[in-house]
Amino acid sequence: MKPIIFGCSGPELTEAEFAFFQKNKPAGFILFARNVEDKAQLSKLTSDLKRSVGRHKVPILIDQEGGRVQRMAEPHWRKYPPMGVFGEMALKDPTLAASALRLNCRLMADDLRKVGVNVNCLPLLDVRQKEADAIIGDRAFSGDPSLVAALGRITVDALQEGGVLPVVKHIPGHGRAMVDSHLKLPVVDTPVAELEEMDFAPFKALKDAPFAMTAHIVYSALDSEKPATLSRQVIARTIRMKMGFSGLLMTDDLSMKALSGSFAERSKEALEAGCDLLLHCNGDMAEMEEVVSACDEVNAGFEKRIATLVRNVEQAPMIDRADVKRRLEELMSKF
């Protein structure tokens, strides 16, 4: 098994993709709107992805946040609000917000697990800043780190109770970025003390999450040259030691323009910096070949660790969907 999470090009695997995955055996997969048509199609795709690598306990990821970022959309799936809605709700009624968010995430998890998706790239633990680029915006819960941590904890727990593994992102914090890291490399010059008090605090509070996704951002007070994804200093000293994050650390998408160099170079640097998993999303075969060329096989312990995470979460009981939906809509109507 290679320590990579790959995307694929469309709603069904091509022969070339199946053969490539069969040969290289990535650790997992990630899905986007281009891969999603309806429930039957998506169930077949997730089954084919598992079949291509010859394993049942395979992490299959999606970004199902609600709001602007929802890959499984209407009319086949429920439309979910952005996470910022629950932050606003919590300012008026914390108890209402906590209950509504938990039910919202349970429904979301039910949608995912029914089509074979077992990892949701949620919650964002980024602390929202008014002057920052709009790429985060209402995807974040709040500008209050304690509230972000509290709502993040509810999300992490509710997803796992619903049979889906969460991914906290974008560690150590994307909230201050003045440009979109999909397009350019952001540089944050904020002093360490302020970062620790604000941006890093929610990640430290959820250091026991099973997965975290890095930020392609330079934090000049920590490493003036390399973005967090490629920085041994940021990963070892801040993410692992100061925050105490003990889960599996994956990169954000290697094909984002914040990163430079060949895909082999990006992959090698990220692994050497301390990332456990590489994330490559666009399904471009030439790029995927480069990423694979930079990776060695993982050891048996690593493979077992991933399989155990998936196995444990998939044992969660199914919900009474009609009842959860009714209770959620009743709570949302009060806001």
Q: Which residues are identified as catalytic? A: 182, 252
Q: Name 297's Cβ contacts closer than 8 Å, sequence gap at least 6.
A: 1, 2
* CB neighbourhood size of 32 (10 A): 15
Q: Which two tokens stand for residue 195?
A: 């970062």
Kindly provide the residue ranges of all beta strands, DSSP E only, lying in 119-196, ordered along the sequence. 119-120, 165-171, 187-188
If we measure between CA atoms, which residue out of 2, 67, 68 comes closest to residue 29? 2
Helix ranges, 206-320 (H): 232-233, 263-273, 285-293, 300-313
If we measure between CA atoms, which residue out of 252, 313, 258, 322 comes closest to residue 282? 252
Is the alpha carbon torsion for 216, 181, 71, 137 positive or negative? positive
DSSP string, 247-271: SEEEEEETTSTTS-S-HHHHHHHHH
3-state secondary structure of 324: helix
Place of tokens 């209050």: 144
Q: Which two tokens stand for residue 95?
A: 């108890």
